[in-house]
Chain A
Amino acid sequence: MIDLFQAVISSIVIGSLYALMAYGLTLTLGSIRIYNWAYAEYVTISAYVTALLSSRYSVDILLCFPVAIFSAVTVSLIADELVYKPLTRKGSTIIQVMLASIATGLLIRYLIYIFASVNNVVIIKAAYTSKAVAKIDDLIITDLDIFIVGLTIFMMLVFHLIISKTLIGKQIRAMWDNFELARLSGIKVDKVRRFVCILVGMPAGIIGSLWSIYSTITPTSGWLLLLPAFAAVIVGGLVSIPGAIIGGYLLGFGENFFMYIAYKFAGVSLAYKPLITLSIMLLALFVRADIIPARWLLSILTRAATHRGNGR
């Protein structure tokens, strides 16, 4: 039985990472109306920064975090200024922007590949190893587990405070609800946009750094995390932040706890793991689009949970 609890622990840890990443993606989607497929590469860049600084240059691991966050934020701003903002200004369709984001992501990834192969760091890991802090029978909880869960939840709370309590947060919410109206009512859309880019760059930096400690990094690491994160976004109905967070944990549990139970009681091979993520995504999309009934249930849930219902 204890091994089931172990599965729960890893589900919570991975779920937190997915939830934070989904938060960033949803925020971008809601306020700037962009499907940012390049978000994966912001994470990969941060992961490499942390891994390189800590292992090659022996920088203390906690100092790597700010540097990684700075890198992610910088790339986020540059990508927006060079690609997304001009496209939005031109009035491109959402499909065209999605295509542009996929292309941008691929471009950054190829650059990372070149950098990694030239410097012989195609596979790398940050120089910090987790230690066990709690042992109950066979159940192990490490300091890294606690750090990841703590940091991600802390960040989500901070963002929630920024969005609900500050002036600029209110402006973001205004843009979210109705872009044109927000612009007409005098909100400096460009300034808010830049703020959002900085704001979503931060979780990317944190996730990348955490991931480089938790696992080994290759140039495709960010992309591998993007798919579950997008699944979480979709489960949240694409415009709901609480929904995205729930989605992140749902996916974390789906991949770890649920698959483990499936193995233990039904002998299902773990090789089918990626199918879970993708099927949840598809299911969520189809429910949302009224192809599968029970839509009304979901819409009641999401309507209650969106910012609209949250003390506005």
Chain B
Amino acid sequence: MRITVTVDGTKFTDDVEPRQLLVHYLRERLGKVGTVVGCDTSNCGACTVHLDGHSVKSCSVLAVQADGSEVTTIEGLARDGKLHPVQQAFHDNHALQCGFCTPGMIMQSIDLLADDPDPDEQAVREGLEGNLCRCTGYQNIVRAVRDAAARMQGGAGPEAEQVADVRATTGGAQ
């Protein structure tokens, strides 16, 4: 099947097998290996990306389902040499160790903050329930997400990543 997908701001048209998972399309066809595979039952969330501005586990989406959509991966977050505030907050709060879960964790955190710009600790914990980390014990991840929330002041949700909108509204928070 032929699909056209915009990934991190670049449009791609490809023939794909109907059974191909979005995560495999991203990794193997497009070389977007920043998005990783951590399990085969959609429990770990390491493969989380944004599909039309909302987080999905890209192991649970077929590439053909992304036809005509915009996908943002961890590789498309930084703009103009500046990190996304959530990326920066993960660094600043030591919210990663081995870093394997980090791309998915960051993508899910951004989605969480779009729904709830000022989450309390419990809201962050529940919002990240579908993303597993084996290194950090989550405490610093929770801290990072709340820190990012403060920096973003409710201003940078998924709409900030819409590549059609080049105004990149994340600037103010950096």
| Co-assembled chains A and B | no
